[in-house]
Structure 1
Amino acid sequence: MTDRNIACAQDVPSNQINALPSEDNMQKDSTQLQNSPFELNYLRERLLGLENILLKDFKKRLDEEIEGVVQELRQHELQTNEFHGFAKPQNTNTWSNRVPLAKETPNGSKGSTVGLEKSTNSADNLKNKHKKQPRPLPDKVFVIRESYLTALLEVDHMRTIYHIFACIFLILIIQSISYDYLTEGRVYFGLGTFKSSLQKIQYVFAIWLLEHAVVFVLFYAFKMWATVRCKLARQPALQSFWSHSCLITYISSQLLLGYVASVLCLKLDLTFITSSILLLESTRLLMKMHAFVRTNAGRVLAGKLKVDTSPSPNAVDATEDNEKSTHIVRLPTFQSYLYFLFAPTLIYRDSYPRTSHIRWKFVLARFMEIVAIAFAYSYMFERYIKVQFSNIGVEELSPRTFLLKLYSMIMPNNIIFLCGFYLILHAWLNFTAELLRFGDRMFYKDWWTSSYYDVFFRNWNVVVHDWLYEYIYKDSYNHIFKGAKLPATLLVFGISALVHEHIIGFALKLFFPVMLCFFGILAVSMIYLLRTFSKRVGNFMVWLTLIIGNGLLFSLYPMEHYAQVNCSRTYEHWTDYFVPTLWTCYMKQ
């Protein structure tokens, strides 16, 4: 053996030396390979093929990493030079919506869930010691920050794009005025559409006031429940009966409030706009009520959030049997509750970060945008929706005509979609936030850059998504599905799709579950389908499916509505209500 072989043999354990191949065996194997050129060539081809595959894969991954690093450097440079406030360290990122529960919130206190976890006694800890606990989910954080578009419009390039759209809108107004004057000799300014859409708005306002009265009563009812519950601390059976009775009453009141708002849309024969206002406001109040009760009920049930021996008018004494000290559960004041009802958020906190003053120029600019988009909607309705669909049920609708109507409405419908986003999530919420000096303006994130649908749904409407995440997803994840994310996610999508379909169905007074199919079935499927694409292709597919989906969505509902208006039908069986009028109108023999 050579010196190299001897050195290698010294490193091998003695019990494995005999297992090593000898030089004679190695020479025999080499001779066999030389004597069999077919096996040698086959082995060489396989090795070369493996080498090519590894090199291609390595080159592809290397190119992707280099491209990603270059793009991140360019983006960081752009953010640093142009987009003020966008480039910050990750731990202090302006656009971070949540923080882990183990970390402290910006005001130096732990999250409410952390307090609840720490309030459990040692016996419960020993009991649950060997149980598998779900991974803690991050908590919502509120900080003072502007909306994405507000920050982006500080850049000259983005401000120029904003001016371009403003010019296009001005041209549309001039075109509408010219058309009305030249064809009919008068100018409408879309006032006819406003007048017809806002009929019986006084009834909606009266119902809105009554609903707020019910929501105000909830605060004092909750305070009474907490007070009586603490007084019944030494009678567990009676305390449990009282709490369960109040829970049933609370759930019944929520269902009754939603039922009354839905039925009144039918009984009063409200228009689509007035019905939408009533149903959206009722849904908002129901979500606010649940947020308040869910957050503060946890505090009362824990009973050890705040230790304080001094009396307080807004405190409830909760005496523990196994402790001699008195624990004070501080309930929120009515002022905090009232501010929460009108604040542009659905997550309850006793206080929120507030700005120092109201920027009245900012308020005026947002109000003018709200008025402008309202007139744009009037224009879109009169020039596109009414023209294309008002004769559905009267005129002949062949497959060719049907497809032409759908294709002609794709772009107008997507303009309606984008204007709706800007109207509600940017202009209106920033308008109310500025008047209330509400500091956290992250009502949406950069959803337009989403490459996957799950990211799109998280960033599209942060206000509603935060509520679904905090009070549906987290509770079902922690208490129902015990750490299983998929069923909790499907539950969130199912509830959201049903609520959207409920609002649209009662506003239009029809059952036509297009939103339920698109949002609850197709959108969930697209979440998993788009994960196989790269980010660029994924963003393209998100926009392609959004454009096609919105084009169909905002066309099918008006078609069904006008079919009900123009086609009389009878309902002989309860199943007839689930058959679209559009089908029965054109499929008659």
Structure 2
Amino acid sequence: MSEQKAESAQKQQNQSQSQIGAHENAGKMQKVTTQNNNNALELDYLRERLQHLQDSLLKDFKKCINEEIENIVQELRQHELQLNEFRGFAKSQHTNTWSNRIAVTTDTQTANGSVPTEKSKGINPESRDNKLAGKHKKQPRPLPDKVFKIRESYLTALLEVDHMRTIYHIFVAILLMLLIQSISYDYLAEGRVYFGLGTFKSSLEKIEYVFGIWLLEHAVVFLLYYAFKMWTNVRVKLARQPALQSFWSHSCLITYISSQLLFGYVASALCLKLDLTFITASILLLESTRLLMKMHSFVRTNAGRVLAGKLKTDAISGDVDDIYDVQQSAQAIRLPSFSSYLYFLFAPTLIYRDSYPRTTHIRWKFALARFMEVVGVAFFYSYIFERYIRVQYENIGLEELSLRTFVIKLHSMVMPNNIIFLCGFYLILHSWLNFTSELLRFGDRMFYKDWWTSSTYDEYFRNWNVVVHDWLYEYIYKDSYNYLFKGAKLPAMLMVFYTSALVHEHIIGFALKLFFPVMFCFFGGFSVGLIFLFRNASKRVGNFVVWFTLIFGNGLLFSLYSIEYYARQNCPRTYESWTDYFVPTMWTCYNK
């Protein structure tokens, strides 16, 4: 019995163990199934995410490919247009007709008046002692130099295209219509035709005085050549006496600076003394400024050559007589002829060179067409003055002027003032300079670049007036960069801006006989701020900002000067203290 009980107990134990094992196996199977389900879900999620990533990458890739294809097609179309229409603009960067500067080399540095570096004197800085090399200061990076070549102006090349010439014909037709309108109005309203001659007659009063002063100024400019030659010859003779040579050079430098200041002062004082009109005073001041810039260009370039000859002979071994003979011969070779100096005085450039690229002949039809453009724009200016400026502003100070009326006058003159701005560009920088270039067979006609496509103000100022910008770059920016600020570009750039702003304000102030520094504030204030504000903007946004601010700024600029000018004519005032000169007459007229 006991054995039977033991067997049954054993069976029950085995059954319970088997049941427990079955439960454990079922639990394990359930866990495995659950884990498999979870893994399947994770795989599905991962597969879904990978599919989504693949679709995104393919979509972005297709988008990038399509954009690149569109850009390439657009570039091909533009290149085809350039090849077929704008042939002069489809050259490589290295042979670009419109490239204005080249990298500086030792030869170009010495030839253009810069003092040679140590390498150009035959001294290798690496061969120096380590102590001396450690003390040697790093020289500023050489800036590119001006290059002259035979090329046409931008608009001359563009007007070879039929599409651009059509636009030119449209403007000529508008000018003729305005002329016919002016003639009709004069005849029907007043019974006679003026042709704007009354404006010309009143504007050019005392022009004979300006012509006489202009001749005297050229006599002074001619004397400068012989004064410079005398300085060079005496300096060579004093080569054996460095102290006397230094005293002579410094005395001549002080005399030269004083004569330049006196030259500018006399021209400005005569505008006030002779009570010249705005046009005649502008002619005198612009010509005086041009001659001052020409004289400085000649002296700065050739003085650098003279100093370069001295530095070159310092490295020559031998006795004193040999050095003196070499120096004397070097100086004699470097001095330019008077004919080169005379041609430079009348050439349409402010950068001195001994010679310039010249055309083979004079195109008389081209010169006559440019001269007729000068005459046509002059009559158009007369029309703008008689129909807009005088009508709007001649009664300032005599009539009631509320804020509402003042704003209306400003807005009504925005477009006429911008027409004056654009016509002034075309009159001076295209028509007149191309006319004089053709008569002198001056080959390089890059007086401006494509400033209308500028997206920043620094680009606009570089391309707007290349003639003046080249002078500022060569003799203000480069000298400030190399010697004053030791390689710092920002202060050198600001030096250029404020120098140009002061000269512009000086000319306008003395021509109008008033102190009203709107030009200086616009030029040296807002323009400088806009350079840094929109420097990183896209080209389209930048070009829109440049044009919007130009239209608004020029409209406001011309209007404010006109209002102040007529206010001074109609509201005579007394100046009791020096602070009165800083108060606009327009303000005192209506706030007594």
Q: Is the 8 A contact 1:266 1:506 kept in 2?
A: yes
SS in 1 for 2:87: coil
Q: Is the 8 A contact 1:451 1:537 kept in 2?
A: yes
More helix per residue? 2
Q: Please name the residue that 1:289 is paired with.
A: 295
Q: Is 1:83 the counterpart of 2:83 in the alignment?
A: no
* Larger-gyration structure (1/2): 2
Q: Is 1:264 the counterpart of 2:270 in the alignment?
A: yes
Amino acid at match of 1:259: Y
Q: Is the 8 A contact 1:180 1:188 kept in 2?
A: yes
Q: Is 1:461 the counterpart of 2:465 in the alignment?
A: yes
Return closer, same or farther for 1:480/1:71 CA change in 2, 3 Å cut-off.
farther
Return closer, same or farther for 1:61/1:261 CA change in 2, 3 Å cut-off.
farther
Q: Please name the residue that 1:116 is paired with.
A: 116
Q: Which moved more, 1:118-127 or 1:336-345?
A: 118-127
Q: Please name the residue that 1:426 is paired with.
A: 430
Alignment of 1:125-144 (within 5 A): 126=128, 130-144=136-150
Amino acid at match of 1:75: Q
Gaps of 5+ in 2: 1-34, 40-44, 314-318
Q: Please name the residue that 2:19 is paired with.
A: none
Q: Please name the residue that 2:260 is paired with.
A: 254
TM-score, structure 1 normalization: 0.85
Return closer, same or farther for 1:128/1:234 CA change in 2, 3 Å cut-off.
farther
Amino acid at match of 1:159: R
Return closer, same or farther for 1:64/1:573 CA change in 2, 3 Å cut-off.
farther
TM-score, structure 2 normalization: 0.85
Q: Please name the residue that 1:197 is paired with.
A: 203
Can you list the C-alpha shifts for 1:428-460, whole angstroms capped at 9, x where unaligned?
000000000000000000001111111111000
Amino acid at match of 2:93: Q
Q: Distance in 1 between matches of 2:138 and 2:61?
A: 40
Q: Is 1:353 the counterpart of 2:354 in the alignment?
A: no
Amino acid at match of 2:414: I
Return closer, same or farther for 1:576/1:401 CA change in 2, 3 Å cut-off.
same
Q: Please name the residue that 1:447 is paired with.
A: 451
Q: Please name the residue that 2:378 is paired with.
A: 374
Q: Please name the residue that 1:567 is paired with.
A: 571
Quick one: percent identity of the two aligned structures?
A: 77
Return closer, same or farther for 1:443/1:272 CA change in 2, 3 Å cut-off.
same
Q: Distance in 2 between matches of 1:59 and 1:502?
A: 60
Q: Please name the residue that 2:156 is paired with.
A: 150
Q: Please name the residue that 1:481 is paired with.
A: 485
Return closer, same or farther for 1:583/1:104 CA change in 2, 3 Å cut-off.
same
Return closer, same or farther for 1:61/1:339 CA change in 2, 3 Å cut-off.
farther
Q: What is the total number of aligned residue pairs between the two structures?
A: 537
Return closer, same or farther for 1:240/1:514 CA change in 2, 3 Å cut-off.
same
Q: Distance in 1 between matches of 2:61 and 2:263?
A: 61
Return closer, same or farther for 1:305/1:183 CA change in 2, 3 Å cut-off.
farther
Q: Please name the residue that 1:102 is paired with.
A: 105
Amino acid at match of 2:557: L
Amino acid at match of 1:122: I
Q: Is 1:362 the counterpart of 2:371 in the alignment?
A: no
Return closer, same or farther for 1:582/1:448 CA change in 2, 3 Å cut-off.
same
Return closer, same or farther for 1:249/1:168 CA change in 2, 3 Å cut-off.
same
Q: Please name the residue that 1:276 is paired with.
A: 282
Can you list the C-alpha shifts for 1:185-219, whole angstroms capped at 9, x where unaligned?
00000000000000000000011011100000000
Q: Is the 8 A contact 1:476 1:488 kept in 2?
A: yes
Q: Is the 8 A contact 1:389 1:562 kept in 2?
A: yes
Q: Is the 8 A contact 1:119 1:304 kept in 2?
A: no
**What is the Cα-based RMSD across aligned positions, in Å?**
3.0
Q: Please name the residue that 2:304 is paired with.
A: 298
Can you list the C-alpha shifts for 1:253-275, whole angstroms capped at 9, x where unaligned?
00000000001000100000000
Gaps of 5+ in 1: 1-30, 36-40, 308-318
Q: Is the 8 A contact 1:354 1:437 kept in 2?
A: yes
Q: Is 1:404 the counterpart of 2:384 in the alignment?
A: no
Return closer, same or farther for 1:338/1:57 CA change in 2, 3 Å cut-off.
farther
Q: Distance in 1 between matches of 2:68 and 2:321?
A: 61
Return closer, same or farther for 1:398/1:359 CA change in 2, 3 Å cut-off.
same
Q: Please name the residue that 2:580 is paired with.
A: 576
Q: Distance in 1 between matches of 2:106 and 2:372?
A: 41
Q: Distance in 2 between matches of 1:151 and 1:254?
A: 39
Amino acid at match of 1:271: T
1:325 Cα shift? 6.0
Q: Is the 8 A contact 1:233 1:320 kept in 2?
A: no
Match of 2:237 among 231, 234, 238: 231
SS in 1 for 2:566: helix
